[in-house]
Structure 1
Amino acid sequence: MKRHEQREIALNSLYQHLLLNKDIRKCVYEAMHGTNEIDGYLYSITVDTVAHEYNYIQTINHLLRKDWTFNRLSVLEQAILLMACQEILVNQTPKAVVIDEAVGLAKKYCDDDSYKLINGVLDRL
């Protein structure tokens, strides 16, 4: 499975986790159609992201305008930013690649101008 496909599965899983307060492992398991064989990369951008969720939220809050908070963002925007933090800060994926993928996901799944916010926050990370 390509990394882009894994990012889409991760976005779906993180979205469910954030929106429904559902266990991330269960979300990934369901997204993988009931298989426990999860690639290490997918595990990292889902389960490990949730393990560091609080720290990433604090980091993102510092990068937003003073009149915005993480909780004010849409759940999809939150999921994209959390996953991107994991990729940049822990997985050490090149920042340009992460921003490009995050912007692409935002253009596909979020509101029309969400990609601008995603790009701006990740550029300052």
Structure 2
Amino acid sequence: MKRRKARERAFQLLFQIDMNEITPQEVIQIAEEEEELKPFAKQLITGVIENKQQLDAHITKHLEKWSLERIASVERTLLRIAVYEMQEIEEIPAKVSINEAVEIAKTYGDDKSSRFVNGVLSKMVNEEV
């Protein structure tokens, strides 16, 4: 499983956790019954769950005229994954994390999802340089 597929799988599972009353352990167990989760996907899932409050605070700081609760679950989940990658996984350039989030948004979001995700993440990178 390439990193793109691992990101996509992590997104799917984190989205399920965000949308349903299901524990991360249950989601991971169900997912592993279907196929073995790769270490990168597990790292993203665990990292986002463990750092959710800090990630949400960081995202909220860069939102204009939006609250985190108003953002659709697709975009919120992708922002969390990308911000986690940018903050915690040094070997992945921020541009790669942004591009991957945008591409997944094109698949799972609506027509505006990819632009929204790109805008928020680009703003973060530009303000933190």
TM-score for the superposition, normalised by structure 1? 0.90
Q: Structure 1: which 5+ residue stretches go unaligned?
A: none
Structure-2 separation of matches of 1:21 and 1:57: 19
Which runs of structure 2 are paired with 1:19-38 in the superposition (5 Å)?
A: 19-33=19-33, 38=37
Identity percentage over the alignment? 28
C-alpha distance in structure 1 between counterparts of 2:79 and 2:69, whole Å: 12
Deviation sequence 1:21-43 (CA, Å, 0-9, x none): 321232123223356x5433112
Between the aligned partners of 1:22 and 1:91, the Cα distance in structure 2 is: 27
The residue number in structure 1 matching 2:54 is: 55
Q: Which residue of 1 aligns with 2:74?
A: 76
Alpha carbons 2:98, 2:121 under 8 Å: kept? yes
Name the aligned partner's letter for residue 89 of structure 2. Answer: N
Count of residues in correspondence between the two structures: 123
User: Would the aligned equivalents of 1:57 and 1:82 in 2 still touch at CA under 8 Å?
Assistant: yes
AA matched with 1:46: I
- 2:13 paired residue number: 13
- Output the amino acid matched with 2:56: I
Q: TM-score, normalised by structure 2?
A: 0.88
What is the RMSD of the two structures over their aligned residues, measured on CA atoms?
1.5
